[in-house]
């Protein structure tokens, strides 16, 4: 599966889950609440260990037996593999999990490769997959594990290439998600990235998401518009629409929802977006 297809599917999966978690009226105004990422109070460790076997089992349930067959075969081979053969199988598994859009187990295999071979691309791939996996689940224990792994991966990546903006943005996202004592540590990293590269997609998108969470919808609009000036994409249009909705800009929200629906080409999600549009027109 091509990278572009994977990215589109990932966006649709995340948004479809989010769509059906919302009332038709959309986002709920943010409230003051204590962060809870499944962490033990005062500890940097998750309350429960999360293994690749656990994540693999969950992912296989999501993708079905047919797509799981090749992965199960590789996992069986992995049990008795050593040295170069072991690493070759780990890389194959990372790619296979990527192909079926399951970032959590993919991240673990990239991480294992990075720890052994210490290659920048593996650290970066691991961190990106863990950040993506954080968005895919509402399980606080799994989120905590994803954050910790993302921080480890991006810290290694930024040490190897301190000026790499993708690594710095990834670390910023992980820090805001709970990887640092204060989310402002991560926000600061993301702002550093956009200062050097004002159009950086990852930094702008996540600054937009964090603006939504803090109720700063006008700032969120500017972030998502910056992304869409470069190319149309599902997630940016969806959250732009949600931001416009909260600002009371109904026509702009409707137009953004319609663009999102066109790009998704998913009948189920499309029907839900139609409900959102209908609510705005009433």
- Which is higher by pLDDT, 109 or 137? 109
State the Cα–Cα distance between residues 132 and 115, nearest whole angstrom. 20
Question: Is residue 110 very low, low, confident or very high in pLDDT (cuts 50, 70, 90)?
Answer: very high
Q: Nearest-CA neighbor of 173 among 206, 139, 221, 196? A: 206
Query: 237, 228 in Cβ contact below 8 A?
Result: yes
> Does the fold of domain 198-282 match that of domain 1-17+48-197?
yes
Q: Nearest-CA neighbor of 105 among 115, 93, 92? A: 93
Averaged over 81-103, what is the pLDDT?
Answer: 96
- List, in order, residues 6 or more apart from 133 with CB less than 8 Å away: 103, 104, 107, 142, 146
CATH of range 1-17+48-197; options 1.10.10, 3.40.5, 1.20.5, 1.25.40: 1.25.40
Q: Which fold is adopted by the domain 198-282?
A: 1.25.40
What are the helix (H) ranges across the chain? 3-19, 52-63, 65-79, 83-99, 103-117, 120-136, 140-160, 165-174, 183-196, 201-213, 217-228, 234-247, 250-264, 267-281
Give the range among 67-81, 182-196, 258-272 with minimum mean pLDDT.
258-272
Averaged over 181-194, what is the pLDDT?
Answer: 96
What digits encode the pLDDT tens for the residues 167-178?
999 999 999 999
Q: Nearest-CA neighbor of 208 among 191, 192, 195? A: 191
What are the residue ranges spanned by the domains of the chain?
A: 1-17+48-197, 198-282
Find residue 39's DSSP bridge partners: 46
Question: Is residue 6 very low, low, confident or very high in pLDDT (cuts 50, 70, 90)?
Answer: very low
What digits encode the pLDDT tens for the residues 27-44?
544 444 444 444 433 334
Joined tokens for residue 274: 């139609």
Q: What is residue 272's predicted lDDT score, i.e. its pLDDT? A: 87
């Amino acid at each position: 599966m091509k990278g572009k297809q994977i990215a589109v599917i990932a966006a649709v999966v995340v948004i479809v889950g989010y769509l059906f978690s919302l009332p038709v009226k959309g986002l709920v105004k943010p409230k003051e609440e204590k962060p809870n990422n499944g962490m033990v109070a005062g500890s940097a460790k998750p309350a429960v260990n999360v293994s690749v076997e656990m994540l693999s089992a969950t992912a296989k349930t999501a993708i079905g037996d047919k797509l799981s067959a090749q992965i199960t075969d590789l996992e069986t081979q992995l049990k008795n593999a050593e040295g170069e053969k072991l690493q070759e199988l780990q890389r194959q598994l990372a790619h296979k999990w990527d192909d079926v859009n399951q970032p959590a187990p993919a991240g673990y295999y990239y991480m294992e490769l990075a720890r052994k071979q210490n290659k920048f691309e593996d650290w970066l791939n691991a961190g990106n997959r863990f950040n993506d996996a954080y968005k895919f689940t509402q399980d606080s224990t799994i989120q905590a594990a994803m954050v910790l792994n993302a921080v480890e991966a991006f810290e290694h990546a930024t040490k190897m290439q301190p000026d790499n903006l993708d690594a710095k943005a990834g670390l910023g996202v992980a820090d805001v998600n709970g990887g640092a004592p204060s989310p402002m540590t991560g926000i600061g990293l993301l702002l550093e990235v956009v200062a050097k590269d004002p159009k950086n997609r990852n930094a702008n998108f996540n600054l937009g998401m964090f603006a939504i969470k803090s109720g700063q919808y006008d700032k969120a609009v500017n972030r998502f518009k910056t992304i869409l000036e470069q190319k149309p994409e599902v997630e940016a249009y969806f959250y732009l629409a949600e931001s416009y909705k909260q600002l009371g800009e109904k026509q702009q929200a409707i137009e953004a929802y319609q663009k999102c629906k066109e790009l998704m080409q998913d009948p189920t999600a499309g029907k839900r977006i139609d409900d959102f549009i209908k609510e705005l027109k009433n």
